[in-house]
A and B are shown apart, each in its own frame.
Chain A
Amino acid sequence: MTYDLAVIGAGPAGASATIEAAKAGLDTVLIDEQRAAGGQVWRAKGPAIKAAPATPEGKTGDRLRAALAAVTADRHFSARVWDIERHTDGFRISAISPTGALTIETRAVLLAGGAQERVFAVPGWTLPGVIGLGAATALMKEQLVLPGNRVIVAGVGPLLSFVAHEIIRNGGKVAAVVDLNPLSVWLRCLPDLIGSPGLLVRGAWWRLRLWAAGVAYFHECGIRSIEGDRAVSRVTIGAVDANWCPLGAATQTYDADAVCLGHGLAPATEASRLLGADHQYDGGQGGWKPVTDDVGRTTVPGLFVAGDGAGVQGAAAAQLQGRISALAIAEDLGLLTTREWRRRSAPLILRIGKAQRFGRAMTALTIPRPGLIEAIAPDTLVCRCEGLSRHDIEAEIRAGANWPNAIKSGTRCGMGPCGGRYCTETVTELACRITGKTPGEFGIPTARPPLRPVPIGCLSGEFDYDDLPIPPPAPL
């Protein structure tokens, strides 16, 4: 059978879209690699957790999961989408689920794959004990395990105070919060935040609690180095200037056994790039994002994007975007009249502006600045998978490899199993600095399947040799 709509990702955007689409009468299927809906922000607790105190994120997630359970739509969890192809008049999606290979045909696709964390290298960041800021949220929300016993929380953006707050709320100890931004940037974006008072109050509350708990919070400060023998044991920090460049000598060294490090989020564009949609660079929305109209239509007919994958704007906006896109898809497929589309989408469109303003203001705090590169020592690894240092990458660029694919081919940077997710941003900044290009001019490496690593044995399944469609041999 062919679905009307396949939604990839069951975070705020994808789950809300599925509910809206199902209500509009679309034959909808929802796929997510996690065990339950909720996405990164409202992730469900893992199966080991039988009971735990309620949290705001947990409650919102539970409401969303309950609403999703109430609609008629097929769903596949723990299913990783590894390929999406344009196929006849629609799309063909390939996934690997616990029960085996899954093939889904659909007229329209809504990509709601969210964002991925952006972590720029600092000396020592590959030591065990250093995890992403987003990783820390996942660990605490899903597994209810703390990232360490004495934690340094460092980087930029709103996740800093959230992570630090979660650690102390759950009885852990934060050695210090190290924020590259000055406090004034928060004050400057206040006008954009006022429209979402609930979120603003929560953010302020986290800061207040950190202050009350006596947690040191350093603004205009960055990590100089992380040290330890086989695991984190010391973290040295120092002041930075307005460009986040290290300023003067290091100021403090902390004993710590964990570092949560993050520099914002970037839209996960691998699927939209694989499908050949046009993309543009917008630092204010996390970097490369698909070109879309107001309702999430990409340049590929039938392909829509909603949520952080369309430009990082946060969960509140993601939810509304997902619903708006679902309605637009229903109208495009002729399952909703234009009048009905207007009636249902109007209240959502009215609300989305405020949510987007808030989300964009948060993302703007994390736009990369030159200091992120300044903080990387020549021998610091930039590409974790292939063990390549800043020096290795820069040597290749100086030798004339001035574009993403050329750097990748020459060094293997980005060819490893993470698919370049944790080095592409750094390489972009390094290359732009040497070549004078902007990230938009520099571009982004080509996306190819599989979107996630897949075991050959899962793809081949049970097969009969004689059934393999082996073509005739090449001419002798």
Chain B
Amino acid sequence: MSQAFDIAVVGGGILGCATALRLAEGGMNAIVIEKSDLGQGASGVNAGTLSLQIKRVKLMPYALRGWAKWQAMGAAIGFHQTGGISLAFNQREADLLQERMTMKAEAGAPITLISGRDARAREPGLSDRVVAASWCPQDGHANSSLTGQYYRHQLRDARIAIREHCPVTKIDQTDRGFVLHGYGETIHARRLLLACGGWLKGVAALLGVDLPVRARVNTVSVTERGPRIMNTVVGHATGLLTMKQKTNGTVLIGGGWQGRGSPMNGRGLVDRDTLIPNLCLAQYAVPEIARLRVLRSWTGFEAHVPDFNPLAGALPGTKNAFVLGCVRGGYTIGPYISELMGDLILGRDPEMPLFDPSRPFDIETATRRIL
């Protein structure tokens, strides 16, 4: 006779794990069910950039409030506050930078616009083609590879049950809650939280719910160790570059260039046609990087809905079921928004408003926007 959990969290990424922790704090008996290993989805393969400069204006308050969480996690997750610089290489980009960073500063981020020369003074490895830049002392990075390890320890300490390598393939609703079927396992739970990232659409469909979730296939690359060539997080006016050198000397290059594949029909693949321009852009920003060798490029699935705002609230039309996902910059904002989500499920008043998944979506405009 299997025991019933107060809540089953489907998805062991940062959002699922951090919410489970909040729920356990609030007295719930939780289980996290993960189809592969904890933190092997987006949360474990992302570029680890904790940059306010690339956060959406609407999500800035969440990123700002969540900052203390990263400081608290500290070394266990490889947290470093280094400051960050976003670059413009021509007038068009300078205008774009000014427009975007001004709005982000108004939303509370300590971002200032600086000259190309000031940027080079802060980061001597930058190319002399920088015409304008923005600076945010609060930017930094963490080591996303450690997500799984970190939360595995946290969940264990909080006595939260974990099932890894257990993909949920069927969910039955009963009058007492939910019965989840996974890899030879049957799990009973009174409540359900879907936090399965890029796979949300398929898992929600198990309950007959159609979520307008799509997945982007973001590419990240890492170089071999090299001599120190940069100290800050270097970005681009468009947001299509994030780059930092880790303490071990490797340089991580991201920016959301698109690979191929989709969560539902298998794995994501690196596309040479986007990888190379991504690396060119990195080299254009910090020319010294040309000397380093790339060791590995990979992809991860980042979920979004047409308005690019999070899904955080009750799962439409399903009692006692919730969904959390599609948070842009969800690694940075994850620990904080997950606490809000936990509070909502615990019946408390979240400190900040959440994002009702039942809101209407204008799918047509959104499609045009991402194309």
A465 x B277 contact (CB < 8 A): no
Once bound together, how far apart are the Cα atoms of A474 and B96, in whole Å? 12
Chain A residue, CB-CB nearest to B237: A473
Chain B residues positioned under 8 Å from A473 (CB to CB): 96, 100, 237-240
Q: A401-B152, A473-B239 are in contact. Are A455 and B296 (CB under 8 A)?
A: no
Chain A residues positioned under 8 Å from B269 (CB to CB): 85
Render B46-61 as a binary contact track against A, CB cut-off 8 A, 1 for contact: 0000000010110000
Chain B residue, CB-CB nearest to A403: B37
Render A408-442 as a binary contact track against B, CB cut-off 8 A, 1 for contact: 01101001110100000000000000000000000
Q: Which of B152, B276, B279, B281 contacts A400 (CB 8 A)?
A: B152
* A476 proximal to B (CB < 8 A): yes
B224 x A453 contact (CB < 8 A): yes
Once bound together, how far apart are the Cα atoms of A403 and B36, in whole Å? 9
* A198 proximal to B (CB < 8 A): no
Once bound together, how far apart are the Cα atoms of A405 and B296, in whole Å? 14
Chain A residues positioned under 8 Å from B222 (CB to CB): 415
**Of residues 236 to 291 in B, which have CB atoms within 8 Å of A's CB atoms?**
236-240, 256-258, 266-267, 269-272, 274-277, 279-284, 289-291
Of the candidate stretches A126-134, A158-166, A456-464, the one touching chain B is A456-464
A85 x B44 contact (CB < 8 A): no
* A255 proximal to B (CB < 8 A): no
Chain B residue, CB-CB nearest to A471: B240
A450 x B280 contact (CB < 8 A): no
Once bound together, how far apart are the Cα atoms of A400 and B96, in whole Å? 47
* B328 proximal to A (CB < 8 A): yes
A457 x B295 contact (CB < 8 A): no
Chain A residues positioned under 8 Å from B223 (CB to CB): 456
* A406 proximal to B (CB < 8 A): yes
Once bound together, how far apart are the Cα atoms of A63 and B225, in whole Å? 42
* B176 proximal to A (CB < 8 A): no
* A94 proximal to B (CB < 8 A): yes
Q: Which of A276, A399, A454, A474 contacts B152 (CB 8 A)?
A: A399
**Of residues 99 to 155 in B, which have CB atoms within 8 Å of A's CB atoms?**
100, 103, 129, 145-149, 152-153
* A472 proximal to B (CB < 8 A): yes
Chain A residues positioned under 8 Å from B257 (CB to CB): 471
Chain B residues positioned under 8 Å from A214 (CB to CB): none
Chain B residues positioned under 8 Å from A85 (CB to CB): 269, 271-272
B89 x A470 contact (CB < 8 A): no
* B82 proximal to A (CB < 8 A): no
Q: A85-B272, A406-B40 are in contact. Are A415 and B296 (CB under 8 A)?
A: yes
B267 x A276 contact (CB < 8 A): yes
* B67 proximal to A (CB < 8 A): no
**Of residues 149 to 172 in B, which have CB atoms within 8 Å of A's CB atoms?**
149, 152-153, 156, 162, 164-165
* A402 proximal to B (CB < 8 A): yes
A455 x B292 contact (CB < 8 A): yes
Q: Which of B145, B271, B272, B284 contacts A409 (CB 8 A)?
A: B145
Chain B residues positioned under 8 Å from A469 (CB to CB): 274, 277
Chain B residues positioned under 8 Å from A405 (CB to CB): 36-37, 40
Once bound together, how far apart are the Cα atoms of A58 and B64, in whole Å? 67
B296 x A450 contact (CB < 8 A): yes
A448 x B281 contact (CB < 8 A): no
Chain A residues positioned under 8 Å from B277 (CB to CB): 468-470
* A331 proximal to B (CB < 8 A): no
CB distance from A97 to the nearest CB of B (A): 16
B57 x A456 contact (CB < 8 A): no
Q: A85-B271, A406-B40 are in contact. Are A456 and B292 (CB under 8 A)?
A: yes
CB distance from A17 to the nearest CB of B (A): 25
* B38 proximal to A (CB < 8 A): yes
B156 x A419 contact (CB < 8 A): no
Q: A409-B149, A474-B328 are in contact. Are A455 and B291 (CB under 8 A)?
A: yes
Q: A409-B44, A453-B293 are in contact. Are A401 and B37 (CB under 8 A)?
A: yes
Q: Which of B39, B153, B294 contacts A456 (CB 8 A)?
A: B294
Q: A409-B148, A474-B328 are in contact. Are A459 and B292 (CB under 8 A)?
A: no
B149 x A396 contact (CB < 8 A): yes
Once bound together, how far apart are the Cα atoms of A403 and B237, in whole Å? 39
Q: Which of B129, B152, B296, B369 contacts A475 (CB 8 A)?
A: B369
B294 x A459 contact (CB < 8 A): yes
* B5 proximal to A (CB < 8 A): no
Chain A residues positioned under 8 Å from B237 (CB to CB): 473
* B308 proximal to A (CB < 8 A): yes
Besides A401-B149, A456-B282, A474-B239, 8 new A-B residue pairs in contact (Cβ under 8 A), listed by A number: A92-B272, A409-B147, A446-B298, A449-B272, A453-B295, A465-B284, A474-B328, A475-B56
5 contacting pairs across A/B (C-beta < 8 A): A410-B146, A419-B295, A450-B295, A470-B236, A470-B281
Closest 4 CB pairs between A and B? A457-B290, A410-B149, A406-B37, A453-B293
